[in-house]
Amino acid sequence: DVKVTQSSRYLVKRTGEKVFLECVQDMDHENMFWYRQDPGLGLRLIYFSYDVKMKEKGDIPEGYSVSREKKERFSLILESASTNQTSMYLCASRRGGRRTGGTEAFFGQGTRLTVV
């Protein structure tokens, strides 16, 4: 079974802190994604990566950056955490190249981040 593991289930950080959310997948997937999920807004794509060191902005990249130094690991970085970044963060991975369709996406267990 594919496993997507997020480093923390719950995090509490202070406003202005730099925050790192880590995600690791064990199936050699090329594509990895970061979403946030908020009540009433659903899941929204923050960033994704289709290869090592490659990244593209999703729908809501402001205030975030990402890093993909190794194929299995995709990190989401909150440069200066703010209270409006309090949310559930979900990492996903999917096999295939940049334009490959048809493969199943797998999600991690989520990180509930609270910024105080």
Partner 1 sequence: KQEVTQIPAALSVPEGENLVLNCSFTDSAIYNLQWFRQDPGKGLTSLLLIQSSQREQTSGRLNASLDKSSGRSTLYIAASQPGDSATYLCAVRGPSYGKLTFGQGTILTVHP
- The two three-digit tokens of residue 111, written as one number: 């990180």
Residues in 2-41 at the binding interface with partner 1, rule: CB under 8 A = 4, 6, 31, 33, 40
Check binding of 96 to partner 1 (CB under 8 A): yes
Check binding of 43 to partner 1 (CB under 8 A): yes
Cα–Cα distances in Å, from 42 out to 36, 37, 38, 112, 114? 8, 5, 6, 15, 18
Among 26, 64, 101, 113, binds partner 1 (CB under 8 A): 101
Q: Which is nearer to partner 1, 15 or 114 (CB)?
A: 114
Which residues are CB-contacts of 23 (< 8 A; sequence separation ≥ 6)? 4, 5, 6, 7, 32, 34, 73, 74, 75, 76, 91, 93, 108
Check binding of 109 to partner 1 (CB under 8 A): yes
Query: Whole-angstrom Cα distance, residue 82 to residue 114?
Result: 9
Check binding of 58 to partner 1 (CB under 8 A): yes
What does DSSP assign to residue 100? -
- The two three-digit tokens of residue 61, written as one number: 């990249």
Check binding of 106 to partner 1 (CB under 8 A): yes
Check binding of 94 to partner 1 (CB under 8 A): yes
List of residues contacting partner 1 (CB under 8 A): 4, 6, 31, 33, 40, 42-43, 45, 48, 50, 56, 58, 90, 92, 94, 96, 98-99, 101-102, 104-110, 112
